[in-house]
Amino acid sequence: MALSKTITLTNNFGESSEFNDAYVRVDRVEATKHLATAFVGYYKSGGEDFLVSLSVSFEPDLDGPNFIKQAYEHLKGLPEFEGAEDC
């Protein structure tokens, strides 16, 4: 399971680069009963060349699907992932 989305990254010199169909993958989730943190990696199209990572926190549903699936559902509900497609 992963997402595909066009992203724009800016380097330390202020130069922007656009990556069409970047591969967005939840690399791992750390969780307690009350808080889960998903560590998300962005990769060039195809999922091999690492670009950048971020972490996103959410409240897990202990009776719901596994935490990785919950992380993807949470990501798809965030404004910065609007338009992301399952891949």
Q: What pLDDT sits at residue 45?
A: 80
- Report residue 8 as tokens: 């724009």
Q: What pLDDT sits at residue 35?
A: 97
Q: What pLDDT sits at residue 60?
A: 97
Alpha helices in 33-78 (DSSP H): 67-76
Q: Along the chain (87 residues), what's the average pLDDT of each consecutive run of 10 residues?
A: 93 94 95 97 88 96 94 95 91
What region, left, alpha or beta, does residue 24 occupy, with left being phi > 0 and alpha being psi -120 to 50 degrees? beta
Q: How far apart are CA 53 and CA 13, in angstroms?
A: 19
Long-range contacts, stretch 78-81, CB < 8 angstroms, 24+ apart: 81/3, 81/5, 81/24
